């Protein structure tokens, strides 16, 4: 009897581009998992400072109180910035093809980030869930991938062990499905735990995947490896690994929950 695919990981980024937080379970809402990409970093110019601009952001480890009232940032040098989450001035910012509603976060965070980076940075918070998700303008509230693809990409690079899934920063990983199974999920309804999602498109990969998720330093030629495997896939995003999905039915998902492709 074929093995039923199951949820292998659940990950969110409390602060966009910083270290991921692994969860045992989460509530998937209409706009994704609450708290995912809730905070983000801005340049002095007001532009989004993401992993492409500064890969070392992934080495900062955020901790957020369950109710979102307190934030701690742990820096690689051992320094810590912590305090209550206090809303400051509105900071509407344009990215992902539109103006996103944000506000500044008061406290020690700007000074700590700026000192660590060696240039002025600001911490901001979104005004509503999902505002800083890359593919939310297309309805992409969560992302999902077959975990078997991690071994395929590693093999293409001559590595014996699967790649660390944190490189790809995807919400849900599925164990027990064939590599690239997600290609066939696009346009179909997928039950994940108590939620139902519908994959809608590929997630193209960028230079962030080349960075070590612990240090934020480039250490793997993942884009070249993906090119050998995925360059011929017809998609509107280059070098796809994983898919983004709309949420049809909100619900809870847990590690080990079955993943079921529903009838068309």
Confidence of residue 2 (pLDDT cuts 50, 70, 90): low
Residue with tokens 């901001």: 124
Contacts of 109 (CB under 8 A, 6+ apart): 71, 73, 81, 83, 123
Q: What CATH number should be reported for the domain holding residue 160?
A: 2.40.33.20
The verdict on residue 131 lying in a domain is: no
Same domain as 233, residue 148? yes
Do 44 and 68 lie in one domain? The reply is yes
Residues 120 and 141 in one domain: no
| Per-residue pLDDT tens over the stretch 31-40 | 999 999 999 9
118 belongs to a structural domain: yes
Q: Are residues 156 and 118 in the same domain?
A: no
Tell me what percent of the residues of the chain surpass a pLDDT of 90: 91
Classify residue 53: in a domain, yes or no.
Answer: yes
pLDDT at 26: 98
Q: Tell whether 61 is covered by a domain.
A: yes
Whether residues 55 and 154 share a domain: the answer is no
Domain final position from 98, 126, 154: 126
Q: Assign 219 to helix, strand or coil.
A: coil
In the chain, the number of structural domains is 2
The closest of 179, 230, 211 to 52, measured between CA atoms, is 211
* Buried-state track 97-114, b at ≥16 Cβ within 10 A, e below 16: eeebebbbbebebbebbe
Please give the residue range of the domain that contains residue 186: 6-32+136-261
The answer to whether residues 150 and 94 belong to one domain is: no
Q: What is the pLDDT of residues 78-101, one digit of tens each?
A: 999 999 999 999 999 998 888 999
């Amino acid at each position: 009897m074929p093995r039923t695919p199951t949820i292998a990981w659940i990950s969110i980024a409390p602060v966009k581009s910083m270290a991921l937080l692994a969860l045992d379970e989460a509530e998937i809402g209409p706009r994704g998992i609450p708290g995912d990409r809730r905070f983000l970093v801005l340049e002095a110019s007001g532009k989004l400072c993401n992993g492409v601009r500064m890969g070392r952001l992934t080495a900062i480890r955020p901790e957020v109180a369950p109710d979102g009232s307190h934030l701690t940032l742990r820096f690689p040098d051992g320094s810590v910035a912590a305090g209550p989450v206090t809303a400051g001035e509105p900071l509407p910012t344009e990215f992902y093809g539109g103006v996103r509603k944000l506000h500044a976060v008061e406290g020690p965070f700007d000074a700590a980030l700026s000192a660590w980076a060696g240039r002025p940075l600001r911490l901001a918070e979104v005004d509503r869930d999902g505002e800083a998700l890359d593919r939310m303008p297309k309805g992409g509230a969560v992302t999902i991938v077959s975990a078997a693809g991690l071994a395929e990409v590693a093999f293409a690079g001559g590595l014996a062990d699967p790649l660390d899934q944190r490189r790809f920063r995807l919400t849900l990983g599925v164990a027990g499905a064939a590599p690239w199974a997600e290609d066939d999920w696009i346009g179909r309804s997928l039950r994940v735990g108590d939620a139902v999602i519908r994959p809608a498109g590929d997630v193209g990969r960028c230079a962030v995947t080349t960075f070590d998720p612990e240090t934020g330093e480039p250490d793997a030629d993942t884009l070249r490896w993906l090119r050998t495997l995925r360059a011929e896939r017809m998609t509107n995003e280059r070098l796809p690994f994983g898919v983004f999905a709309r949420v049809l039915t909100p619900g809870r998902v847990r590690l080990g929950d079955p993943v079921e492709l529903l009838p068309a």
